[in-house]
Amino acid sequence: MIAASIRKTMLVGSLCAIATSANAGYEIQLDDASKLTFGGYLKVDTRYVDGDVAYKDFWSGTGTPLPEATSQFKIFAKESRFNMKFEHDDVTAFVEMDFYGSGGNEIISNSYSPRLRHAFIKYQGLTVGQTWTTFMNTSAIPESADFGGAMVGLAFIRQGQVRYDMGNFQVSIENPESFGGDASKDKLPDVVARYNFKGDWGNISVSALGRQLNTSLGKSETAVGGSIAGRLKTFGKDDVRFQFHKGELGRYVGVAAAKDIVDEQVEDSTAYIASYRHYWNDTLRSTLLYGNIQTDLGDADHTQWSINIFQNLTPQLAVGFELGNFAMKDKDVDSNYAQLSVKYVL
């Protein structure tokens, strides 16, 4: 029987972390061994983009060059998300959705479809389901109004997987996908191994990725790559966040800036991001960030930088303003953007 009282608890962690995101949760004690937590946040964004890269609600790793510069302005709430976590003894089940799905009639209703973000089960170190790839260190994602913040330099994938955690060591088999090749021939899972170093100073992770990729002409190719990422405490509440990725990583980095297969060959990429977050006081903070990705076959050279300021009006309500630029140097195009965000955690 559900307990009569529902108490509100704050879950500590990174903005983009999964079951321990920095969003409030309403916790319902079901019985002595079980509880249900409902969380998420509502986020409203006002965004202005000006330049010769076409408008996007947030910058991914690539964009659409325009023949001439133009400007566009939008207000939307699609990043808003809801999640539920059920815990019973050693079992945890978690599901989360946002509204970056299909649809969206901006003439009348802006009725965007929900989209599955996470759906997984954890039991005694084993994780099964869809969630962030083991290759990815979520604590190394900068705080930004633009969702993700310089995705050009991020390892950023959610996908089906089976992961086992042994202390600081993690190993997983994950869903394969030969982006740019023939995914219908994918018959072996991607394999990821990661080791985490943690302390009062912060954390650093080292990851390795191995895959079999399949070209459109029926050839199988081996692809390997590595990553180092982390979040380091500096002065007071300030921190440095960084990621560096190198190798035949394809779709694992840059959010579609790189493909796995280009012209029947495995593409190599180098991607990185660095940010510094400074607290002006307990509720006011700013982040300066820069990210880049370069690929050898597609010749991509994409960059994003931004600077922002966030103020918590209450523990649950924050407002932020951000200025930045997204550039595709290989296409000689770029766009500036300004974004105002209001976020209320549940």
Q: What is the DSSP string of 90-114?
A: TEEEEEEEES-SSB--TTTT--BPP
Contact between 223 and 248 (Cβ < 8 Å): yes
On whether residue 280 sits in a domain, the answer given is yes
Q: CA–CA separation, 142 vs 289, rounded Å?
A: 7
Contact between 150 and 305 (Cβ < 8 Å): yes
On whether residue 276 sits in a domain, the answer given is yes
Contact between 156 and 136 (Cβ < 8 Å): yes
For 166-181, what is the mean pLDDT?
97
**Among the listed residues 81, 73, 34, 27, the one whose alpha carbon sits nearest the alpha carbon of residue 50:** 73
The number of folded domains in the chain is: 1
On whether residue 228 sits in a domain, the answer given is yes
**Residues 37-82: tens digit of each pLDDT:** 999 999 999 999 999 999 999 999 999 999 999 999 999 999 999 9
At 15 the pLDDT is: 32
On whether residue 270 sits in a domain, the answer given is yes
Using DSSP, state whether 199 is helix, strand or coil. Answer: strand
Please compute, for residue 324, the number of CA atoms within 13 A of its CA located in the half-sphere on the CB side.
27
For 206-221, what is the mean pLDDT?
96
Q: CA–CA separation, 304 vs 147, rounded Å?
A: 13
Question: How high is the mean pLDDT of the chain?
Answer: 92
Contacts of 332 (CB under 8 A, 6+ apart): none
Report the percentage of the chain scoring pLDDT > 70.
Answer: 93
On whether residue 187 sits in a domain, the answer given is yes
At 337 the pLDDT is: 98
**Residues 256-285: tens digit of each pLDDT:** 999 999 999 999 999 999 999 999 999 999
On whether residue 1 sits in a domain, the answer given is no
Provide the pLDDT confidence category of residue 104 given band limits of 50, 70 and 90.
confident
Q: Give the domain extent around 170.
A: 6-345
Q: CA–CA separation, 80 vs 44, rounded Å?
A: 8
Provide the pLDDT confidence category of residue 24 given band limits of 50, 70 and 90.
low
What predicted TM-score, i.e. pTM, was given to this entire model? 0.90
Structure tokens at 22: 């920095």
* CATH at 268: 2.40.160.10
> Residue 103: how many CB atoms within 10 A of its CB?
11
Which residues share a beta bridge with 88? 34, 91
